[in-house]
Amino acid sequence: EAIEKGGFEHFMLKEIFEQPKSIKDCFRGRLIADEAKLVLGGIRDYATALINAERIVIVACGTSWHAGLVAEYIFEEFCRIPVEVEYASEFRYRNPVIKEGDIVFAISQSGETADTLAAMELAKSKGAIVLGVCNVVGSSISRVSHEGVYTHAGPEIGVASTKAFTAQLTVLTMIALKTALRKGTIAEQRYREILVDLENIPKKVEKALKTDEQVKKIAEIYKDARNFLYLGRGYNFPVALEGALKLKEISYIHAEGYPAAEMKHGPIALIDEEMPVVVIATRDSSYDKIVSNIQEVKARKGKVIAVVSEGDSLIPGMVDHTIEVPGTHESLMPMVSTIPLQLLSYHIAVMRGCNVDQPRNLAKSVTVE
Ligand code: G6P
């Protein structure tokens, strides 16, 4: 096992640090940046159906559901196709409206999650085209899909999903960009620029991993907190949800992720000097808005840990801790901004003496409903 962990103390940490490579593996042979080409053989037959789709439904559970939320923003922005993201367990039991020709994406690391599988079967029975985004080759979900794209992140052993998440984002981004180009809903120049940005993501993730020591110091300060709040807007909203989920899963600290603007409708009541608030505030189209949200938290004496873009000169003066990550196109930011949050939950869990790779009550793959 020590050999399998490759010198890391836990599989989770190894998998977090593998991400520059796993993202590269995910687009190897698919993203040909100098030709501005995306080759996605796995969905060749249904590529046209995707272009013509009136609607996309995404079904998934857990971290994969968070990847689905990011994909919603990406598909709507680039492809102008309405997207709904559903918890597979809700979708399957509520007689959902599915029309022939609707595209249903099923996202799953293991490819064995019972609820996701059942949601796919239901969608298929109603005439939907079901496309899988799976990590495990030959898994049940990949077999039930009409077609699909593997994430090729390699085996993920830690129960808390990390590298599978960033690989799911990579695949979903590639599918959306290719569809948008063929559909004509993205300008070619912009498409080319984002492809170059995508190709540079592994380097940016590499750099984001360098925050490890700094994040560890922050973990030391807040490891005994009883609650955490995670806030983000736009593309970073699902990152906030995912950051909170990671912390809950492995450290057993109660954490909630919220869209930052929604804070005033409830969670703001919880903020006092005891409450650590992680704000993902990288430079994007909602930057000014999130700066105001940070002010709202500080006015109530909350402790703010902000994830910001390199070179931000405003936020560090307002908050208790800043973690800098490299900038990229806002649609790709989740792959970078999620990294320090993975590290934060990891270090807090280790410091609390938790079983990081196999947290209590959780399973890597939930094959029962
Ligand atoms: C379990 C795992 C999570 C995972 C979720 C969905 O809860 O502990 O890490 O996100 O299942 O799993 P899937 O394999 O379908 O992505």
**What DSSP line would sit under 314-348, residue for residue?**
SGGGTSSEEEEE----GGGHHHHHHHHHHHHHHHH
Q: Is the ipTM of this complex over 0.85?
A: yes
**Residue 48 has which token pair?**
């046209």
Q: How far is CA 142 from CA 13, 32, 161, 230, in A?
A: 27, 25, 19, 33
> Residue 215's closest CA among 85, 44, 345, 65?
345
Q: Amino acid identity, residue 333?
A: M
List for the chain the helix, strand, coil content (%; round to 5). Answer: 50, 15, 35
pLDDT at 262: 95
Atom of ligand 1 nearest to the CA of 136: 14
Stated as kind and residue range, the H or E segment containing 28 is none
Active-site entry in 124, 183, 216, 364 = 364
pLDDT at 273: 95
In contact, 199 and 31? CB cutoff 8 Å:
yes
Q: How far is CA 105 from CA 12, 59, 174, 198, in A?
A: 27, 6, 14, 21
Out of 157, 365, 368, 369, mutate this one to test ligand 1's pocket (max ligand atoms within 8 Å of CB): namely 365
pLDDT at 43: 93
pLDDT per residue as tens, the chain (369 positions): 778 898 999 999 999 999 999 999 999 999 998 899 999 999 999 999 999 999 999 999 999 999 999 999 999 999 999 999 999 999 999 999 999 989 999 999 999 999 999 999 999 999 999 999 999 999 999 999 999 999 999 999 999 999 999 999 999 999 999 999 999 999 999 999 999 999 999 999 999 999 999 999 999 999 999 999 999 999 999 999 999 999 999 999 999 999 999 999 999 999 999 999 999 999 999 999 999 999 999 999 999 999 999 999 999 999 999 999 999 999 999 999 999 999 999 999 999 999 999 999 998 988 888
User: Cα–Cα distance between 130 and 115 in angstroms, integer?
Assistant: 15
> Residue 108's closest CA among 173, 56, 167?
167
In contact, 296 and 263? CB cutoff 8 Å:
yes
pLDDT at 3: 82
**Residue 255 has which token pair?**
């954490």
Q: Which residue has the tokens 């955490």?
A: 228
> Residue 333's closest CA among 218, 238, 215?
238
* 3-class DSSP assignment, residue 297: helix
In contact, 358 and 159? CB cutoff 8 Å:
yes
List beta partners, residue 108. Answer: 134
Angle, vertex CA 112, rays to CA 107 and CA 115, nearest 5 = 70
In contact, 95 and 109? CB cutoff 8 Å:
no
pLDDT at 368: 83
Expressed in angstroms and rounded, the spacing between residue 349 Cα and the centre of ligand 1 is 19
In contact, 151 and 167? CB cutoff 8 Å:
yes
User: Cα–Cα distance between 259 and 136 in angstroms, integer?
Assistant: 31
Out of 61, 107, 108, 338, mutate this one to test ligand 1's pocket (max ligand atoms within 8 Å of CB): namely 61
* pTM of the complete model beyond 0.90: yes
Angle, vertex CA 165, rays to CA 84 and CA 228, nearest 5 = 85
Angle, vertex CA 361, rays to CA 359 and CA 367, nearest 5 = 110
For residue 71, which phi and psi values (nearest 5 degrees)?
-60, -35
207 catalytically annotated: no
Atom of ligand 1 nearest to the CA of 61: 6
Expressed in angstroms and rounded, the spacing between residue 2 Cα and the centre of ligand 1 is 24
